[in-house]
Structure 1
Amino acid sequence: MFAGIPIANPAHAELRIAMIETMSGSQASSGEMFRNGLEYVIGKINRQGGFRGEPITFKVYDSAGTTTGAAQRFQEAVSDNMDLVIQGASSAIAGQLTDDVRKFNMRNPGKEKVFITVGAGAMELTGQRCHYYAFRFYPTPSMWAGALVNAMKGSGALEGRVYAINQDYSWGQDWQKATEELAGPGGYTIVGETLHDVNRIQDFSPYVAKIKIAEPDTVITGNWSNDLLLLMKATKDAGLSARFATSNLDQPGNLANAGLAALGHYNASMGSPEIGDGSFAEEYRKAYGRYPAYNDISASVSMEFIMRALQSVKGEGDVAPAEIVAAIEGFSYDSAYGPQSVRIEDHQFLMPLVVTRVDKNAKYKADGTDMGFLPIATVEPDNLIYPVQDTCRMKRP
């Protein structure tokens, strides 16, 4: 998958990449997968000669899953003279960091930092919080839900009754809104909705009982981490027969928690180890002891595009922040999954999404089960992208 990344001619320079991520606490496993995905690509490039002849510096800062922690770690990254600030889990933390970067850049012209999120999907990040030095390399809830509805309807798997359950913050609220807006095109009726506290619920059985009463054919959810793991466990315990559709089902533990009830569930992802010659999957397993899934995939797909874009910048010595932005904005690439690019107006990454179905015929099994994620459709970015939001008023140099 990454074997063809071109290496620029040696010319003493250093690219410094900071990852500010949740590396401790209950969400640490999610952060670790983001880290692995980034360092897989960076490590591969360093082994091939680095960036302009020098190894890329990659340093991880633990936000501890809080906006306060992220803000403090950003100041440390500034002190360490990092060029890129990358973040994954939590739209709230992404909002904190993109604002911190914007304010720093306003006060320090010529010393700007570039912010990239590879895992935050809240609409505001490419809306009122958009700015020239920020990029979102992750689909929004409308894109995720759109891919699922498109593929499931096309395969005849989307029946008439849908229930939506989501976390009660920007990400989950956007998922709920997208599910409502897609009801007409998808040909379904929403028979119930739930918004719940984020990562505080230990027992989802009351929520599953409410879902069972509504008798949906499909449950659409943007839940992630413990809120999906525990939801899957509760559905198994309750014998819920509804089909689930989400973008996080390939998070390790979900299929184990759901058991055979997961068969026929649908998942959307930025890629799949099932696509291609298998070399990416085997190399990743050799490095990390598991096949790539979930945040591994979104982080590695994003980082591959970013590094290909930066390698396209001609010249020697350190690369200026404005050059980084221009390179990413102007780059396009035909990946193993299809065309990838960045929309200049709001810096939203445009990529195909792979929709898979939990199936025993998948090559790569998950969680020690006999089930995996079998691709059924690749939905092109033109069918997913949302209009540029009026609230994005990007000021360009």
Structure 2
Amino acid sequence: MPTLLPLSLRPLAAAALLCAGGAQAQETFKIAYIDPLSGPFANVGELMLNHIQFAVEDINAKGGVNKVPLQLLQFDSKLSAQESQSALQAAIDQGARAIITGGSGSSVVTALVQSAARHNQRNPGKEVMVLNHSSIDPELTGKACNFWHFMFDANTAMRMKAISDYIKTEPSIQKVYLLNQDYAHGKQWAAYGRSMVGAARPDIQFVGETLHPIGKVKDFAPYVSKVKASGADTIISGNWGQDMALLLKAAGDAGLDYRYFNHSAGGVPGTVLAVSQAGKGQLTWVAEWHPGQANRPAADAQAKAYKAKMGKDFLSPRIDITVRFLAAAIQKSQSTDPLKVATAMENMVLDTSIGKVRMRGQDHQLLLPQVVNTIAPVDGKRVTAGWEGTQWGFRTDAVIPAEQLTLDSACQMKRPERL
């Protein structure tokens, strides 16, 4: 690690001493990770960081990109737009050319994208890209789209479409309660749930709707009481991290056996354990892959390699894909200039552990399949392996190809003047 770098940067994969003949330090392509590493969602931030670190170190072990190593810097967003913007400036000052983020929520990522865009406009030739792995507000690739932003996850509308298509085949679902975190994504998840599920199943009754503070509720019993009083059999909730775990606990403690529909909670550490401890309820979520999914040998192999190296479970191929896509675009453009790299990334098709995926040039939305799956007890048939030390794993309910989820975009992309 260069001794002049501030300790707060803590480079994870510097590789800065790779040099010609060992006499001169070679250039690195610096990537800054900005996501929560403290507070109620620190475990989520660490999960994401580990996936990125694994990909960076794997690429560097194979010689880097065009013989240029990647260098990973890390910053704690603290789930704050202000902290994230300060981290962005610090990252730029240290020479970062790409920012990887997404776990801090849509409002924080939107602020980061706006700040990066302002910097890029004022500093042509010194631009920075924002690669978003988990913040799925459709506006980020819709009306608020920006040339410097790329989304590597299916957005909220795409995920809810996958769930709605599945709910259409489940007549047992009759009465739905919308219980969500009180911020942009929670409100969107509720709105898309009401509109898309309602369109897919006009017979369903929406019997209640509540928003609660994000990351601050310690006991969800009062909220569960409201759900019970409504007569609901199903909860559509965008909760994640401790907010989902505590909701499951409260419902389980009350002996309530709800069906939950969520965007990504099953991919967060502790969720399977929370479901098993609750003992009641079925959590159905949607992602690009789930552990143990059939007919995904490349993902299985990557999961084993990740476990062997990191000592943790591999959960999110899309986060790994974010780094691989960046490396492929650097390779394709034969440049480390973010403008050339971003241009190369547009409409790129990459063969990944979950199959071929494409970055749509129109709005910078990655098009990838979605798997509707449910956390369920191991039965030796559809669920063959336990997770997080439990006898609960993942049951595939439906695999929906990307083309079936490709929705229209309102993006009117403004391209940089120096293109």
TM-score normalised by structure 2 residue count? 0.85
The 1:327/1:376 distance shift into structure 2, 3 A limit, reads same
1: CA distance between counterparts of 2:131 and 2:329?
14
Q: Which shifted more, 73-82 or 145-154?
A: 145-154
Of residues 188, 191, 199, the one that matches 1:177 is 191
Secondary structure of residue in 2 paired with 1:252? coil
1: CA distance between counterparts of 2:172 and 2:71?
46
Of residues 223, 228, 237, the one that matches 2:244 is 228
Of residues 185, 192, 195, the one that matches 2:208 is 192
1: CA distance between counterparts of 2:102 and 2:172?
30
2: CA distance between counterparts of 1:263 and 1:333?
37
Q: Is 1:381–2:402 an aligned residue pair?
A: yes
1:203 is displaced (CA, Å) by: 0.9
The 1:385/1:310 distance shift into structure 2, 3 A limit, reads same
Of residues 113, 129, 133, the one that matches 1:118 is 133
Q: How many residues align?
A: 381
The 1:307/1:365 distance shift into structure 2, 3 A limit, reads farther
Q: Is the 8 A contact 2:256 2:281 kept in 1?
A: no
Equivalent position of 1:5 in the other structure: none
Equivalent position of 2:318 in the other structure: 298
2: CA distance between counterparts of 1:303 and 1:189?
42
1:263 is displaced (CA, Å) by: 6.0
Secondary structure of residue in 1 paired with 2:124? coil
Task: Give the alignment's Cα RMSD to 1 decimal.
Answer: 2.2
Q: Which shifted more, 380-389 or 81-90?
A: 380-389
**Cα deviations by residue, 1:76-122 (Å, 9 ceiling, x for unpaired):** 11111111011121112101110110000010011111111111112
1:18 is displaced (CA, Å) by: 0.8
Q: Is 1:271–2:292 an aligned residue pair?
A: no
Q: Is the 8 A contact 2:54 2:310 kept in 1?
A: no
1: CA distance between counterparts of 2:81 and 2:172?
38
Match runs of 1:213-224 below 5 Å: 213-224=229-240
Q: Is the 8 A contact 1:270 1:351 kept in 2?
A: yes
Q: Is the 8 A contact 1:162 1:220 kept in 2?
A: yes
Equivalent position of 1:94 in the other structure: 109
Equivalent position of 1:335 in the other structure: 352
Quote the sequence identity (%). 28
Runs of at least 4 residues off by over 6 Å: none
Q: Is the 8 A contact 2:32 2:75 kept in 1?
A: yes
1:262 is displaced (CA, Å) by: 5.2
Secondary structure of residue in 2 paired with 1:121? coil
Q: Is the 8 A contact 1:351 1:381 kept in 2?
A: yes
The 1:303/1:377 distance shift into structure 2, 3 A limit, reads farther
2: CA distance between counterparts of 1:218 and 1:306?
40
Equivalent position of 1:280 in the other structure: 302
Q: Is the 8 A contact 1:113 1:321 kept in 2?
A: yes
2: CA distance between counterparts of 1:77 and 1:307?
19
Q: Is the 8 A contact 2:131 2:322 kept in 1?
A: no
**Cα deviations by residue, 1:143-200 (Å, 9 ceiling, x for unpaired):** 222112223434x366222221111111011101110111121443322211111111
1:29 is displaced (CA, Å) by: 0.9
**Cα deviations by residue, 1:335-357 (Å, 9 ceiling, x for unpaired):** 34344112222211111111212
Q: Which shifted more, 98-107 or 193-202?
A: 193-202
Amino acid in the other structure paired with 2:128: K
Equivalent position of 2:415 in the other structure: 395
Give the number of the structure with larger relative contact order, counting CA–CA contacts within 8 Å between residues 6 or more apart: 1
Secondary structure of residue in 2 paired with 1:311? helix
Match runs of 1:1-397 below 5 Å: 14-89=28-103, 90-154=105-169, 156=170, 159-182=173-196, 183-187=198-202, 188-247=204-263, 248-259=265-276, 261=279, 264-275=282-293, 276-277=296-297, 278-293=300-315, 296-313=316-333, 315=334, 318-359=335-376, 360-361=378-379, 362-389=383-410, 392-396=412-416, 397=419
The 1:243/1:157 distance shift into structure 2, 3 A limit, reads farther
Amino acid in the other structure paired with 2:220: F
1:368 is displaced (CA, Å) by: 1.5
Secondary structure of residue in 1 paired with 2:390? coil
Q: Is the 8 A contact 2:245 2:274 kept in 1?
A: yes
Secondary structure of residue in 1 paired with 2:99? strand
Q: Which shifted more, 60-69 or 43-52?
A: 60-69
1:36 is displaced (CA, Å) by: 0.8
**Higher Cα Rg: structure 1 or 2?**
2
The 1:262/1:16 distance shift into structure 2, 3 A limit, reads farther
1: CA distance between counterparts of 2:340 and 2:367?
20
Q: Is the 8 A contact 1:105 1:111 kept in 2?
A: yes
